[in-house]
């Protein structure tokens, strides 16, 4: 996540932005490697510093980051995805494919737990659970997936950890063609 956050920051806000964000977060010139886990406090410090530097609210920045990272995640885990899958299919199977691979390949990594229920051909319900409470990133990734697959979707979030719920409930509906 840190490596992609760096790419996002540099691509959106300029090559020097990452260094400035790290300094503002009190992390100096720390180097983050792709297959290493880092403390959540560092992620939080970076996100808060980036939001401040870009004059955005943290949720908006995280959703934008999620949209940005979605194509990178698709490329990274393409070998686990069936060619016929589209947005809802990827969401339905992400826990058993990509998240399982992350947990095996990166000891200590803690991706969110996503319990997906396919409600119909055009709707899926996702129960998002994570101590990090980064449901904003999840919503951004969902939007990024839909853009990648050229599908229009709507996301409703009747329950959210940021509003006192124990987990987030995301209802994702693909608009009919």
- State whether 38 and 92 are in the same domain: no
Q: pLDDT for 90-108, tens place per residue? A: 999 998 877 676 766 776 7
pTM over 0.75: yes
Q: pLDDT for 115-139, tens place per residue? A: 999 999 999 999 999 989 999 999 9
Contacts 24+ apart (CB under 8 A), 44-48: 46/2, 46/5, 46/21, 46/22, 47/5
10 Å CB burial of residue 20 (0-12, 13-18, 19+) is middle
Q: Are 87 and 149 in contact (CB under 8 A)?
A: yes
Q: Are 148 and 166 in contact (CB under 8 A)?
A: no
- State whether 83 and 14 are in the same domain: no
- State whether 30 and 81 are in the same domain: no
Residue 23 lies in domain: 2-56
- State whether 113 and 34 are in the same domain: no
CA distance 123 to 62: 24
């Amino acid at each position: 996540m840190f490596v992609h956050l760096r790419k996002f920051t540099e691509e959106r806000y300029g090559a020097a932005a990452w260094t400035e964000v790290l300094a503002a977060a009190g992390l100096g010139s720390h180097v983050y490697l792709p297959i290493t886990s880092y403390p959540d406090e560092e992620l939080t410090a970076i996100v808060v510093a980036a939001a401040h530097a870009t004059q955005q609210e943290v949720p908006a920045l995280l959703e934008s980051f999620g949209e940005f990272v979605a194509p990178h995640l698709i490329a990274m885990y393409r070998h686990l995805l069936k060619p016929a899958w589209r947005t809802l299919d990827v969401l339905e199977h992400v826990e058993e494919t990509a998240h399982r691979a992350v947990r095996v390949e990166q000891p200590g990594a803690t991706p969110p737990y996503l319990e997906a229920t396919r409600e119909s051909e055009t709707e899926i319900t996702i129960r998002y659970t994570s101590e990090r409470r980064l449901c904003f990133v999840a919503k951004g990734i969902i939007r990024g997936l839909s853009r990648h697959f050229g599908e229009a979707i709507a996301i409703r979030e009747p329950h959210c950890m940021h509003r006192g719920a124990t987990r987030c409930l995301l209802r994702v509906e693909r608009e009919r063609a």
